[in-house]
Structure 1
Amino acid sequence: MVARLIHVEDPDDPRLAPYRDIREKDLVGRDGRFIAEGKVVLNVLLNGSRFEAESLLILENRLAGARPLLDAAPDGLPAYVAKAPVIDALAGFHVHRGVLGLGRRGPERTLEGELAHLPAEALVVVMAGVSNHDNVGAIFRNAAAFEADLVLLDETSSDPLYRKAIRVSVGATLKVPFVRGGSTKAITASLIGAGFRCLALSPSGGSDIAAIKPGGRNAIFLGSEGDGLAPSVMASMEAVRIGMSASFDSLNVAAASAIALHRLWRGAGQVSGPRPPPSGP
């Protein structure tokens, strides 16, 4: 497998149009596509992602370092190569990571369809009103680390395929199945109907997450920074907390998700084998 190199010198080249004005278009969508950036994330997109890569865009002076990506790409995948002024003018900001990729979203997944394919023992993460892209990305990274089967995001949560969320997740949003949309109430009803124990993570929870045993079907609900989960959401399920110092009130939602997911992880207590070196965003 090897990508097809195409050198471009004009930021107005129509072949590069999907990469134009990245920041602005990321906020409103780009016709069923998304932008991924950085070698770590693009390695995921090209190897094991749930999504199809459509093209790459590489800084000319980063071409040698991008060779492993080019070699791993599907045969004939367009890899556009340009100097920094061309890419910066196209993207609307300085692309310091040197390599971008265009992915295709594909058909939207449905909640009912995803739940129907989950195993008898399953772990689901639900985000309710999590609108910060960094938190969304970090929660996906934790979901991948602790083998969550599915991530659900209500209609008020941010898009996991927003460029920054993908980057912070180190590509986990490209691997972990997710469904975005619908109200928290509707999501809860579907999970209960599918036999899930729904757990609302909150500092005011009645029991400690350490008392919850892994196994079976568990869904952990995470709310936004500050407001947290709505009282109506917590009233419909079991509320749990993370024990911590009485002199401090809460954790960042992404940090809290890591603790809760580790507790609910079906692999907790198993002896781990060698791990690859950690990778950054």
Structure 2
Amino acid sequence: MTTIPIDDLNDPRLAVYRSLKATNTTRDLNHFIVEGERLVDRLIASRYPTDSVLLTDRHLDRLQTTVPEDVPLYVVPFEKVHDLVGFPFHRGALACGRRLPAPSWRELWGTASGTLRFVVCPQISNPENLGSIARLCDAFDVDGILAGPSCPDPLSRRVLRVSMGSALRLPVVVADDLLSMAADMENTLGVEFFAAVAGEATPFEEVSLPPRLGLVLGDEDRGVDPAWVARCRRSITIPMPGRASSLNVSTAAAILIYRFASRAEPPPRTQASIGLGGT
């Protein structure tokens, strides 16, 4: 492995790693940054090309063997990396990935057979919430996330960090007109959309799962937009007997995704299974 020591922070090869906190908006760039050993490994293992890896000298011996031979490996002094990225940084590893053309939903699922599960995020605004939702979807085998244009960049540093790299594996389709795309998916794939709302609606435990489901989550302040409620086949809610009237969207997502990610209906509860007729 050939390493490239760099002591001068003005070296142009380090430009993509400079002032990351001030340049977190990466949607319009042709690259993105991941931070930390695990995310560097997951970027290398993903479909996205790795343009370069940056390690501090304190982490070089332990991490350099994980970097492919054809990827430039830059090494900077540990005491300088904080000035480079613009905040205290102790994870020891960064990498620059290259964006690829985003596939359409037709390319991803147009010929799919069997059940499909989607989570729909028309207006999530907090990158950490989107990162948490991506990690949940990855954990519970959701087929993909459908996102509106106002959602955070799925490949932004914060989304990738919170999702622990799940956004590198899980398809996230961003559409300028997500309502129209949902209508096309309903007509073409038979996807039924359920709106997750607070208040009067069918408790989520009581609904039957359609073979193809899109779970629509609302934004952090106003919930699901009325246009989406009208678009959805039905509205469902999480019963809350306590005094709080709503949950954080990522917390609600965890409850609902765990239920709706199931690929089959649970068996009917019999008297024996609920302890009402057994011996």
Distance of 1:109 and 1:65 partners within structure 2: 36
- The AA in structure 2 aligned to 1:58 is L
Choose the corresponding residue for 1:227, options 213, 222, 231.
222
Is residue 2:211 matched to residue 1:216?
Answer: yes
Q: Is the 8 A contact 1:4 1:77 kept in 2?
A: no
Displacement of 1:41 after TM fit? 1.5
Distance of 1:154 and 1:269 partners within structure 2: 30
- The AA in structure 2 aligned to 1:184 is L
Distance of 2:132 and 2:194 partners within structure 1: 20
User: 1:61 matched to which residue of 2?
Assistant: 58
SS of match in other structure, 1:93? coil
SS of match in other structure, 1:36? strand
Displacement of 1:214 after TM fit? 4.1
Summarize the alignment of residues 250-269 of structure 1 with structure 2, pairs less than 5 Å apart. Answer: 250-266=246-262
RMSD: 2.0
Displacement of 1:212 after TM fit? 2.9
User: 2:131 matched to which residue of 1?
Assistant: 137
User: 2:38 matched to which residue of 1?
Assistant: 40
Choose the corresponding residue for 2:157, options 133, 155, 163.
163
User: 1:207 matched to which residue of 2?
Assistant: 202
User: 2:276 matched to which residue of 1?
Assistant: none
Distance of 1:224 and 1:160 partners within structure 2: 16
Summarize the alignment of residues 86-105 of structure 1 with structure 2, pairs less than 5 Å apart. Answer: 86-105=80-99
Change (3 A) 1:268 1:91: farther
For 1:137-190, what per-residue CA distance to the aligned partner results, in whole angstroms no more than 9, with x for missing partners? 000000001101111110111111110110000110111011113233223212
For 1:215-273, what per-residue CA distance to the aligned partner results, in whole angstroms no more than 9, with x for missing partners? 61011011111211111210221111112224221111111111111111235799xxx
Distance of 2:200 and 2:181 partners within structure 1: 20
For 1:89-148, what per-residue CA distance to the aligned partner results, in whole angstroms no more than 9, with x for missing partners? 322222221211101111122233233144321101111110101100000000001101
SS of match in other structure, 2:51? strand
Equivalent pairs: percent with the same residue? 30
After TM superposition, the score normalised by the length of structure 2 is: 0.87
Distance of 1:89 and 1:154 partners within structure 2: 35
Detail structure 1 runs of 4+ shifted over 4 Å in the superposition.
Answer: 267-270
Q: Count residues in correspondence.
A: 264
Structure 1 regions of 5+ residues with no counterpart? Answer: 271-281
For 1:39-94, what per-residue CA distance to the aligned partner results, in whole angstroms no more than 9, with x for missing partners? 122221122x232211111111122332xxx3333322111111134322322222
Distance of 2:68 and 2:260 partners within structure 1: 37
Q: Is the 8 A contact 1:215 1:264 kept in 2?
A: no
Distance of 1:64 and 1:37 partners within structure 2: 18
Distance of 2:215 and 2:39 partners within structure 1: 26
Q: Is the 8 A contact 1:141 1:169 kept in 2?
A: yes
Q: Which stretch has the larger CA shift, 210-219 or 31-40?
A: 210-219
Q: Is the 8 A contact 1:36 1:42 kept in 2?
A: yes
User: 1:277 matched to which residue of 2?
Assistant: none
Summarize the alignment of residues 188-207 of structure 1 with structure 2, pairs less than 5 Å apart. Answer: 188-193=182-187, 194-204=189-199, 206-207=201-202
- The AA in structure 1 aligned to 2:259 is R
Q: Which stretch has the larger CA shift, 223-232 or 28-37?
A: 28-37
Change (3 A) 1:269 1:247: same
Q: Is the 8 A contact 1:109 1:178 kept in 2?
A: no
Distance of 2:50 and 2:172 partners within structure 1: 18
Distance of 2:255 and 2:47 partners within structure 1: 26
User: 1:275 matched to which residue of 2?
Assistant: none
User: 1:180 matched to which residue of 2?
Assistant: 174
